[in-house]
Amino acid sequence: RDEIAAQLVRFTGLTPEYIRQTDLRPEVFRYFKQLLRHRGQTVGRLDSRFIGHDRDDAGEHPETDPFMNAVLGAYAVGINRLLKETLKFETDAPYVVHAPIWDKWSWKGFENKYVNVGASLRKAMQANPHLRVYVASGYYDLGTPHAAGDYTVNHLGLRDAARAKVSVSYFEAGHMMYIHQPSLARMAKELRAFVKG
């Protein structure tokens, strides 16, 4: 038990006391609040490089996501400009960057467990032997951690020829790695090569 606690401390940056208080099971949304609680700060879920400050430092979860606070406004302006000026698309309906759809999402088959679509991906690759897959992961993405992508790819059960059709890249960024200029440049280059095949 002590060995597991020590590993969790090493991997998460949380204190040994907190790890023990959680019975070795730190809850994910508490993590964003707990990691920098001693400094009165929170970390972003989709990009942990973004730091926030809550009104209540003793709260259980962050009040907002510092990453979302930093980028949503720019995305709303950007997509609206693209739609109107570039694509000449006119509408009175607002473009909602981050709509509250999660409560409507069907999690059938994934109740009380992590979502893993590896079996669906494997079936798709079997049905279409020409299908290639590009997986991009940001090291600072706590919403879709790079280890989850690695786990999925490594447990697809693909033979060598099929496995060679899966490309995996890692970036020094979060979920939206293209907001980090060096990652954007590298990803654009990789995607061009991937599409050209």
Q: How many domains are contained in the chain?
A: 2
Same domain for 169 and 117? yes
Same domain for 183 and 113? yes
Same domain for 122 and 40? no
Same domain for 110 and 58? no
Whether 37 is in a domain gets the answer yes
Whether 76 is in a domain gets the answer no
Location of structure tokens 């994910």: 28
Whether 122 is in a domain gets the answer yes
Whether 189 is in a domain gets the answer yes
Show which of 31, 48, 63 is a domain's final residue. Answer: 63
Q: What is the CATH number of the domain that holds 159?
A: 3.40.50.11320
Whether 17 is in a domain gets the answer yes
Whether 142 is in a domain gets the answer yes
The answer to whether the Cα torsion of 143, 81, 134, 116 is positive or negative is positive
Whether 16 is in a domain gets the answer yes
Segments in the chain forming alpha helices (H): 2-12, 16-21, 28-34, 66-81, 118-127, 146-154, 160-163, 181-196
Classify residue 35 by burial, with Cβ atoms within 10 Å: 0-12, 13-18, 19+. Answer: buried
Residue 69 amino acid letter: N
Same domain for 113 and 43? no
Whether 18 is in a domain gets the answer yes
For 39, the domain range is 2-63
Question: Could you read off the pLDDT tens digit of each residue along the chain, which spans 197 residues?
Answer: 999 999 999 999 999 999 999 999 999 899 999 999 999 999 999 999 999 999 999 999 999 999 999 998 898 899 889 999 999 999 988 887 777 777 787 878 777 777 888 999 999 999 999 999 999 999 999 999 999 999 999 999 999 999 999 999 999 999 999 999 999 999 999 999 999 98
The pTM of the full predicted model, rounded to 2 decimals, is 0.84
The answer to whether the Cα torsion of 189, 190, 195, 197 is positive or negative is positive
